Amino acid sequence: MRLEITKFLVALVMVSALMLNGCSAPQANSDTSIAAENTTQNPADTTATQTPSVSTKESNIMKGLPRLEGKATVVMAVKGSPITIEVDGNNAPITAGNFVDLVQKGVYDGLSFHRVIGPTTGQDPFVAQGGDPQSKDPKFSGNLGTGSFIDPKTGNARYIPLEITPKGEKEPVYSTPISKPPELRHTVGALSMARSQMPDSASSQFYFALADLAFLDGNYAVFGYVTEGMDVVNKIDQGDRIDSAKVTKGAENLKQPGE
């Protein structure tokens, strides 16, 4: 029993570390103000169940977001070495579409990995997290891990809903964690979106899973996997920058709003 309690506490600390440096929460149209430092949502306390359909509010949110209808390949270079990622729009069309769209816009080029918990930091493998647009400026002195993608067309931050497809289901569940195992799981090399306590607060920040992280399943949206270059991912250190990220296959599967 004591061993099980210890394992639970370790998992809780790791999730706290992930969320504390997730992206800042959207405040518009929200009745609850969440601080920028973001508080922890414990997966063990999650009691949310699968919702059968998408609400009108969620439908309106998704109408303005890009979608990936199928799969795409993204090659991300870090310290001159490539990481090949298969992005899965079949099981996470909104999350995958958002990522591929940001890649095509060049948003990730030059951004740093602001949080790394793994071998390069002398810790057990957990995650390598990046994608905060604020990290492009080397002189930025604020709190990295709180930034979101600001759409230059609107001047507003783009947020996407939590999107998880339960195993065996054809459609994703939106805006709520699930207790059923998902189709896309946090195995080694999984690519997932960081977020704050609010489920629909993911924007541009992502993380690579450096180990099997089953306790995150159903709470964070996995949308792809590293297919080549996991050795490069394991060598990422805090402060390392993304040289470039490019879509090398499946760009035609990206659909913009209205298409």
The CATH number that applies at residue 214 is: 2.40.100.10
Tally of domains in the chain? 1
Q: Is the pLDDT of residue 101 over 70?
A: yes
Residue 69 lies in a domain: yes
| pLDDT more than 90, % of the chain | 73
Can you give the pLDDT at residue 258?
A: 84
Give 199-247 pLDDT, tens digit per residue.
999 999 999 999 999 999 999 999 999 999 999 999 999 999 999 999 9
Mean pLDDT of all residues belonging to the chain: 83
HSE, side-chain direction, 13 A CA sphere, residue 152: 5
Q: pLDDT-based confidence at 59, cuts 50/70/90?
A: low
Instruction: Count CB atoms within 10 A of the CB of residue 232.
Output: 18
In degrees to the nearest 10, what's the CA dihedral of 175, 116, 100, 58? Answer: 10
Domain annotation covers residue 156: yes
CA distance 135 to 70: 31
Q: Is residue 259 situated within a structural domain?
A: no
Residue 27 clears pLDDT 50, i.e. is over it: no
Give the count of beta carbons closer than 10 Å to the beta carbon of residue 245. 24
Q: Tell whether 54 is covered by a domain.
A: no
Q: Residue 218 falls within a domain, yes or no?
A: yes
In a domain, 132, yes or no: yes
Residue 169 has a CB neighbour count (10 Å cut-off) of 15
Q: What is the pLDDT of residue 146?
A: 95
Distance CA 20, CA 32 (A): 18
pLDDT of residue 5: 38
pTM of the model: 0.82
The pLDDT score that the predictor gives to residue 121 is 93
Across the range 94-108, mean pLDDT stands at 98
Contact 204, 131 (CB under 8 A): yes
Q: What is the dihedral of CA 131, 203, 219, 248, to 10 degrees?
A: -60
- Tell me the per-residue pLDDT of 129-175, one tens digit each, with 9 for 90 and over: 999 999 999 999 899 999 999 999 999 999 999 999 999 999 999 99
Taking CA atoms, 58 is separated from 160, 174, 202, 203, 221, in Å, by 10, 8, 14, 16, 16
Report if residue 204 sits inside a domain: yes
Q: Please give the residue range of the domain that contains residue 80.
A: 2-27+65-251
Burial class (CB in 10 A: 0-12, 13-18, 19+), 99: buried
Question: How many angstroms separate the most distant Cα atoms in the chain?
Answer: 55
Q: H or E element: which one contains 59?
A: helix 56-63
Is 96 or 13 the better-scoring residue by pLDDT?
Answer: 96
Q: Is the predicted pLDDT of residue 37 greater than 70, yes or no? A: no
pLDDT at 209: 98
Q: Give the three-state DSSP class for 177.
A: coil
Contact (Cβ atoms closer than 8 angstroms) between residue 192 and residue 221 = yes
Per the domain annotation, does 151 fall within a domain? yes
Residue 2: pLDDT band with limits 50, 70, 90: very low
Query: Could you read off the pLDDT of 115-125 as tens digits, one per residue?
Result: 999 999 999 99
pLDDT of 48 over the 50 cut: no
* pLDDT value of residue 35: 24
Query: Given pLDDT bands bounded at 50, 70 and 90, which one contains residue 14?
Result: low
Give the pLDDT of residue 12: 47
pLDDT value for 63: 77
Per-residue CA distances from 170 to 45, 52, 182, 253 (Å): 26, 11, 11, 19
**Do residues 195 and 22 touch, judged by C-beta distance below 8 A?**
yes
